[in-house]
Structure 1
Amino acid sequence: MRFILLLFVCCICVVACDKNPQAKAALHQNHIRHQEDTIGFAQYSWQMDSIISRMDDADKLPNSETYKAVICPHDDYGYAGGLYYKTLSGIKAKTIILVGVAHRARNFDLQDRIIFGSYDSWQSPDGIIPVSSLRDKLLPKLNKKTYVVHDSMMQLEHSLEAITPFLKRKNPALEIIPMLVPYNTFQNMQLFSDDIGSGIAALMKEENLIYGKDIAVVISNDAIHYGSEGWGSGNLAPFGTDSSGTAQARQKDLDIVKETLQGELTTKRVQKFNEITIMADDYKSYKWTWCGRYSTPFGLLLANRIEQLTGASNKDGKLPHLTGTFIDWRSSIHNTHIKVDDLRMGHTAQADSTHWVAYIGMSYQ
């Protein structure tokens, strides 16, 4: 459903540019990545004002902690807005490494690489967000087999533009280093996270940047996609769609979080997450339907590698590891929705027992 609605919006944008050559030329001249989803996400500052004002007060409590990394949702603000705000409350850094999903990587036959863009800046409700100069310093340090620059994929992907407005609202001086993770084997994710993590750690040393204070990692992910309707030809409800089936799906998500994402972050635990969510004989197929089945393990491996290369060793001489703390689990049918229909916004998919999406918030320090 999200794909159909966004495709319609894209078509309108393309027609508008074709009828206005000056607008099209300006876009390319400034090389700005424009917003793709104007339905589920805010595109104007006044919309962000209203979304934030309508959130539960408990989601807006001040946070004195400083996170080095988080896992954050990317679904419609009407469904998940409060958890965005709560999860990102501990992100204090100016420069954010954004690790996103590549939902439509198949369209471009993209796999076995990490995707970067060449955009200079990104559009947001509160103004332009510059891409950090660190990106262009990072790429020459990387193995050529690690990455590909693909602006078309970066433009069509919504999983990072969902998060940037909240980060921009928190820090007007925000700069970003966006990357997307398409189909990848776990072995590739290990190799690529080590390569990129080493490059980032080297830049941090050169630029005198402190992990958490100056630079942090934000991983985009939505948890279980569940139900018997609205998923194309597939039935994504292995436990059924009654209250018992919904409860079982929720419990499995919570078990995954506890077993693989909470506590000391180790390669073994991240690999277990990979084994739970991806088919052993086909790394391009879901086993448990988290759309962040690649962004989450890669992002965690990357965040942990940066910690190992920039943090102090333990007393026993072992490399440091990040520690994951559970913030919350919510879903489009388990939590109260934020009213958006009077804000020229809406929902990109239904939310009921036959079609729902879950979200988690995790912090790492």
Structure 2
Amino acid sequence: MIRPAAVAGSFYPADPKELVNQIDSFLTWADDDPAVKAVIVPHAGLVYSGAVAGEVFSCTAVPPCVLMLGPNHHGGGPAIAVSKATAWATPFGAVPVASELRTALLKRIPQAEADDQAHQYEHSLEIMLPFLLRKQPDLQILPIALGQLSFAECQALGAELAALLKDWQQPVLLLASSDMNHFFPAAENKKLDNIAISAMTDFDPQRLYQVVKEHRITMCGVLPTVVVMHAALQLGAEECRLVRYAHSGEVSGDNSRVVGYAGLTIR
């Protein structure tokens, strides 16, 4: 089964030529860094967050397989929902799902479930595919949507993913999809975002989980980010670097109610 594109024509252009022009306007084609083990990338409409995402992908060497974790905005399906599809449709063509890696993951992590409901309308991972395909035409993906998880559950999932990838015979890039705080005035929004970003650049996933909860920061992908940070630490990463920060008001001109976007690499 091919999972249809849910937000083509709204979050990004459905026309392939228009889409490639927009994606290429965000990519600087900088030297790829093969040391990058994971990325944290925003997932709003490309007109808003595409420049931040583009800078992250520009400096990342994308291998043929990407394990993608994003939030489940719609709430349907299990807490750890692994795409059941054979491929995901995009304007550039269908992207195969890494079926062997999926089988290995489901065998190793019993709390994860193969599920389509969580992914049916979800945009947070779909929005990444045009960037990934421009960097890696032979792309395979393993999309996972996360619902409500405790910190202990995030930590355990990160450890299991790291163990899985240590045993895997091929390189896999970890990707966490998240926007930052939502719908505050720009100055206040940035202060809250900086609290979360500080925990991220200190490479402290537990503190990130705590400060988002304590300060009520509406970082929709905090759980995928915590999981990916844990996994990357287990895989030997030592640095989480902020590549770029921006907010929606810089595009819309309306600073009264913005969404923050942070792009980071983990190496």
What TM-score, normalized to structure 2? 0.91
Distance 1:197 1:217, change over 3 A: same
Q: Which has the larger radius of gyration?
A: 1
In the other structure, the counterpart of 2:178 is 221
> Counterparts of 2:232 and 2:88 in 1: how far apart (Å)?
23
In the other structure, the counterpart of 2:227 is 298
**Structural mapping, 1:141-152, within 5 Å:** 141-144=107-110, 146-152=111-117
- C-alpha root-mean-square deviation of aligned residues, in Å? 2.0
> Counterparts of 1:52 and 1:102 in 2: how far apart (Å)?
25
| Correspondence 1:188 to 2:153 | yes
Distance 1:53 1:130, change over 3 A: closer
Q: Is the 8 A contact 2:40 2:176 kept in 1?
A: yes
Q: Is the 8 A contact 2:81 2:112 kept in 1?
A: yes
In the other structure, the counterpart of 2:263 is 361
In the other structure, the counterpart of 1:80 is 49
In the other structure, the counterpart of 1:22 is none
- Residue 134 (structure 1) shift: 3.0
- Residue 61 (structure 1) shift: 4.4
In the other structure, the counterpart of 1:155 is 120
> Counterparts of 1:297 and 1:249 in 2: how far apart (Å)?
21
Candidates 286, 299, 323, aligned match of 2:239: 323
- Residue identity opposite 2:116 in structure 1: D
- Residue identity opposite 1:50 in structure 2: N
- Residue 53 (structure 1) shift: 5.0
Unpaired runs of 5+ residues, structure 2, are none
TM-superposition CA deviations, 1:178-229 (whole Å, max 9, x none): 1111110001111222223222322x2xx2x2xxxx32111101011023xx
SS in 1 for 2:127: coil
**Structural mapping, 1:238-277, within 5 Å:** 241=185, 246-258=186-198, 260-263=199-202, 265=203, 269-277=204-212
- Residue 251 (structure 1) shift: 2.7
Distance 1:299 1:354, change over 3 A: same
In the other structure, the counterpart of 1:68 is 37
Distance 1:248 1:354, change over 3 A: closer
Distance 1:333 1:195, change over 3 A: same
- Residue identity opposite 1:355 in structure 2: R
In the other structure, the counterpart of 1:27 is none
Candidates 285, 288, 292, aligned match of 2:217: 288
In the other structure, the counterpart of 1:52 is 23
Candidates 248, 257, 264, aligned match of 1:332: 248
> Counterparts of 1:324 and 1:158 in 2: how far apart (Å)?
25
- Residue identity opposite 2:178 in structure 1: N
- Residue identity opposite 2:195 in structure 1: D
In the other structure, the counterpart of 1:137 is 103
- Residue identity opposite 2:263 in structure 1: G
Q: Is the 8 A contact 1:35 1:43 kept in 2?
A: no
> Counterparts of 2:138 and 2:40 in 1: how far apart (Å)?
22
- Residue 131 (structure 1) shift: 0.6
- Residue 252 (structure 1) shift: 2.9
| Correspondence 1:165 to 2:104 | no
> Counterparts of 1:91 and 1:180 in 2: how far apart (Å)?
23
> Counterparts of 1:63 and 1:358 in 2: how far apart (Å)?
26
TM-superposition CA deviations, 1:229-288 (whole Å, max 9, x none): xxxxxxxxxxxx4xxxx3232133123212x1114x3xxx21111011125xxxxxx821
- Residue 54 (structure 1) shift: 4.3
Q: Is the 8 A contact 1:114 1:182 kept in 2?
A: yes
> Counterparts of 1:140 and 1:331 in 2: how far apart (Å)?
37
- Residue 296 (structure 1) shift: 1.1
Report how many residues are paired.
264
